[in-house]
Structure 1
Amino acid sequence: MATSLELRKPESARRLVLIEAASVGLVCGSVAAFPAIFGATVTAPFVGGLRRGTRGVFLALAAGLSTSVLSAVVVLGTLSQESGQALLTWTLLGLGLGLVSASIRHTLHADDAVAPYRHAAALLRELVGITDSLSSGLDQRNLGGQILSEVRDELPTVCGAVYVPHDDGLIPLAVKSFGDDHADACALAAERAWSTGQMVAAEGRFAFCLTSGSRAVAVVSGVFSERFDPQTLDLARVEGRLRTRLGDHATRLETALLFDAFRGAATADERQRLSREMHDGVAQDIAALGYLVDALAAAPVSEAQAQQLDLLRQRVTGIVADVRRTVMTLRTSVGESESLGSAITALTRNLAQVSGVAIEVTLDEHAQRLRPEIEAELFRITQEAVNNAVKHSGCTGIRVHCQVHAPDAVITVQDDGRGLGSARDDSYGMRIMAERARLVGAELQVLEPAEGGLAVQVRLGRAVPDDQTLAWPHESSAQKVARATRAVR
């Protein structure tokens, strides 16, 4: 039974070591009149060493020795000299055996390459089991909004924001502003509070770290209303009260952040695996078919067969190009880039080289980044829009405009092709892009400029794009050809 419990819940090993050692000590101490019974006490440290290593040995010895003495005193009133010597002898022997078992455990775990996977599998099973019981879920935006609502109940603010750490800086999790935009003021106060670990209260702004246990998991900042005098408020006392009220929210937020980090790492690994399998499997098989078609085309039976083989070779070449684009996009991610704009630039540069379509990228980014999951979804929307333009629009050029003023952003992908046209029954690109936009609270628009082509725009927050990104300048045919041959900037 104990072994079964340990397999299902590895974290219970420590409790099992204490329970078993205490039980053996309790029995032995109760019959201490028979000193030979203390020989049973050597089993607990030996098993403890196998389960928990050196720590398990000393836990078992402490539990067994203390319960043996206490139970002997309670039952017999005292511990005889003979029994005491026997208990000391067997305790020392148990210590030796325990250290031996701890050494064996260390050797086995060092040689067992699968042990970390077994431990991870147990943890994942536990995670799956408890996820359904989370009352507030793991939506970071909802948790950030709840925190800001609690803060606004205590402090009269015209702007409030929650920031979470990312790389070496902070990124906005939730922002609520009433009237003028004070996001920059909130960001400056948050940076100062995060770097010092102390509450900031100056120039009508405030910020303090939100902790879970002893760890700072977020920063709450805000700007007071101009009609309110912060000097009339005991901010230190209010901060203490807010920390108490937000304690549970901090724990939930930390859980959500850790879960999102794990999910992001798992997704990146899966994308890399798929790209390798496609490159080494499907792409190689299709290339082999192309060589076979070339061999058949070298000696056609008739003119009709030569035309069919030529058409087949063109189709195979197109499929190979599609697979190459897919492999490249699977391997590209925002996490490896300095910013969302950098990731989009790398994506379009590779697509331009593969497709021969000129892609021009303009960036307007502030230093502060969006949350990783938002950047990932905006990147995939851009990726899908550019891929659709390359594959289906018949365009000679594409323009991508990326504006990121966290927590707002707008990305526009515009081509000079044939326009939207009629949707195919098996086409899910637009639907998937709209679904990705909804996941991060963004809005997706598909626009057809008067001069032709198609513009796909995704907007997050209150970002307003440059009007020029929605209108392709009037160009002559010669200008279009010249632009199509330019390298991606």
Structure 2
Amino acid sequence: MAWKEEQLRVWDFLQLLTPWLLLTISAAIYFSWVLPASGERFRPDGVSVLGLVAVSVLWVLFGHTLPIRKRTLRPGPAGIFFVGLLALCVTLMTYSHIFLVFTIAGFFHAYLLRPWPLGVLGVLATSVALNGSAMRVWAHPAPDLLAEFLLIVTVQTAAIGVGIVLTARSEPEERKREELVERLEAALHENAGLHAQLVAQARESGAQDERQRLASEIHDTLAQGLAGIITQLQAAERSASVRTRGETEEHVARALRLARSSLTEARRSVRALAPRELGRAHLPDALRTLTEGWSKDQGISARMEVTGTREPLSPAIEVSLFRVAQESLTNVAKHAGASRVGVTLSYTGTEVLLDVRDDGRGFATGVGTGFGLTSMRQRIRGVGGHVEVQSAPGEGTAVSARVPAITPGDTGAKGESGR
């Protein structure tokens, strides 16, 4: 296509330049050599030729050059220009044969005539005018000369006219190619716009996902840790008021542990790492550590059980289930007023189930719609699972998460990066 475009540019340049070049050469030779060599004065022939040259300049400028540059040349005006050009050439050749050079421009302009039979006719007319003047056929119409003239005109017309015919036949295909190129360029432009939109949407989605991740991490780590610190310090304050030093020191020690743990989790969240417990062990052991630590801190009996055959899960699955257990235990400590909690992790082969049940006060259906439960559902939904919360006033609460058992080598899970 690049070669074709270059070829078209060269042809357009020749179309524009040829009449001017041939007219300049003819006029320059006539006024600098032919007219002085004839011994004639500038008047009257020189003046007449100069006038015809000036008319030719205006005719070429307004009938050929400007329309081609502006791409406004039409078949009708092109035919009129060709007839006028040939008439000027024939008239100039009556003053000097050197203007045969200018007449050659008719062959180039014949390619612009439409339909193609007019182009071939233009080549024939140019050949007749050119060779008739050069061979002086009209002055001496001898049979041999006429035969030679007819042969030259025929061969010349056939040789140049075949180019016009081939060009005319290839024009529909060229137009189709041009239309195809235009459509392709439009499609590329549209695709570029769509690509830019997709990049912007992906960037916005990535930023939204990161905001959601940080919000969940802050809620699951910092917010819960700070809440625990406040609870322990308030308990220490109450203990100090009744002068029970040992209990006060115990509450302060718990507050320090929570503060250090929250700081560690904050750093891990910023680096998009899995929770500390999962960094040291797989999910069952991490949940057991979490449950035992929570039971010790809250003074609530908690039991952790694992059923089924244990198998390693993808980091995203393990992190999501761990966060569900963490959030569920935090909610029990805050709201349930429970005396016993049971955490069960079940491997069923194709799925993994996590259940956190308590015997607390429970709540009415539709009440549990805080950020914690919303974040919990979003986490589990992100790895292809779902969460169910069952509760009733006075009957405790059960949180059940069900996720596919995706192994670490499976690319189907999406979520937080692991250890």
Q: TM-score, normalised by structure 2?
A: 0.34
The structure whose residues are more often helix, as a share, is 2
Q: TM-score, normalised by structure 1?
A: 0.30
The structure whose residues are more often strand, as a share, is 1
- Rg larger for: 2
